[in-house]
Amino acid sequence: MTSARRDAASRMAVAADRLLASLATKSELLADAAWPFDDEERERWFYTPTDHGGAKMSDLRSSQQRAVMQLLASGLSTAGYVTASTIIGLDNVLDHVEGWSRDWGRERGRDPGSYYVRVFGIPGETGTWSWRFGGHHISINHLIIDGELAGVTPLFLGADPASAPLLGPHPLRPLAGAEDLGRELARSLSTEQRVLGIPSAVAPIDLVGVNRPHFGGGYGDLPLDLLAVWRDEFTGSLAEECIAIQRNAEAAAGLTAENLEAVRLFATPRGLPASALNPSQRELLRALLDVYVHRIPDDLADEHAARYASEADLDSMHFLWTGGLEPGQGHYYRVQGTTLLAEYDNTQRGANHVHTVWRDLLNDFGQDALAAHYRDRH
């Protein structure tokens, strides 16, 4: 057990207790926020503007909202917290971009109040518990076992618009690092390296892993239909709208079954192995991975970054890019090792709509740590 994991778990327990205590006077809010640890809902997650499950920010008093944000900050680095806060505010921008027209079956479809928090189990120094925070383009999931932070993924951050104007010469780009470093690495690939590193000139219109709680078997995974990544099944005009958005995006990109096969996601990494990169490209790859793992507090991120710190560890990583290499062209990439997966897509809304996720292929939702805990106890 490391001091960093203990300290993080302690901060989270204090923040979660403070939040639940603030909700205790309103039973329906507490019922939304506090759930049993072993409920299967714990391993559901979303990144669409749907009901993510939990106490809803717009239903909370200001002091309760502050308690939620304190819990969120306990699980993120300062940069990660600033990025997440900016993403929440982007719903106001997106509402303006869309002419205040989208509702997604709600009173307001683009709503910075539609973010949710839920605690599973009883926070404390012993026992097993977890918490999550999610809403449009955010999904944070942390698991604590006996006072130690044992799981930090899946961790999703997105931005729509990915780039928006500010007063002055510099645009607002919350996920610029994930985009620019990925493109820089892809552009640096030689003709020979691109055979494995860039297998398709057309990118999928979403993440390949999407919001699956677990990855598939030997046949690998492909992106799901847009209709499948919401909590509730749409019918009528909403279903038709989802289908139209997907079909139009696929047609605009020229996406084919062959393009999708090029990005099919297997447990065994595909793409260009890091062992085939030159020294400057290897440093770019490390910098790109740092953008993902440093979403969590820096002392914890350093532990995860140790997985690719050595040359031998980095060699297990593979880089795969599809789509265009110029800004404004739809593109997708992923970095995959034996356990770590960083996945990125920017194709929708004229390649101005970014999805990024950091996942652990063995320990999402703390699955591996939890299994080891149960083995040791029993």
**How far apart are the C-alpha atoms of 158 and 295, rounded to whole Å?**
13
Residue 216: per-residue pLDDT: 73
19-49, pLDDT tens digit by residue?
A: 999 999 899 999 999 999 999 999 999 999 9
129-174, pLDDT tens digit by residue?
A: 999 999 999 999 999 999 999 999 999 999 999 999 999 999 999 9
312-359, pLDDT tens digit by residue?
A: 999 999 999 999 999 999 999 999 999 999 999 999 999 999 999 999
Average pLDDT, the chain: 96
Contact criterion met (CB below 8 Å) for 146 and 345: no
Residue type, 121: G
Encoding tokens for residue 35? 């759930």
Residue 378: per-residue pLDDT: 57
Residue 161: per-residue pLDDT: 98
List, in sequence order, every residue forming a beta bridge with 323; answer none if it has no partner: 331
Residue 131: per-residue pLDDT: 98
Rg (CA), the chain: 20
pLDDT at 269 over 60: yes
Contact criterion met (CB below 8 Å) for 83 and 73: no
pLDDT at 106 over 80: yes
Residue 374: per-residue pLDDT: 84
Residue 268: per-residue pLDDT: 93
Residue 217: per-residue pLDDT: 67
Percent of the chain exceeding pLDDT 90 equals 95
Residue 208: per-residue pLDDT: 97
**How far apart are the C-alpha atoms of 196 and 64, rounded to whole Å?**
50
pLDDT at 82 over 70: yes
**DSSP assignment of 132-191:** EEEETTEEEEEEEETTEEEE---EEEEESSSSB--SSS--B-TTHHHHHHHHHHHHH--H
Mean pLDDT across the stretch 76-104? 97
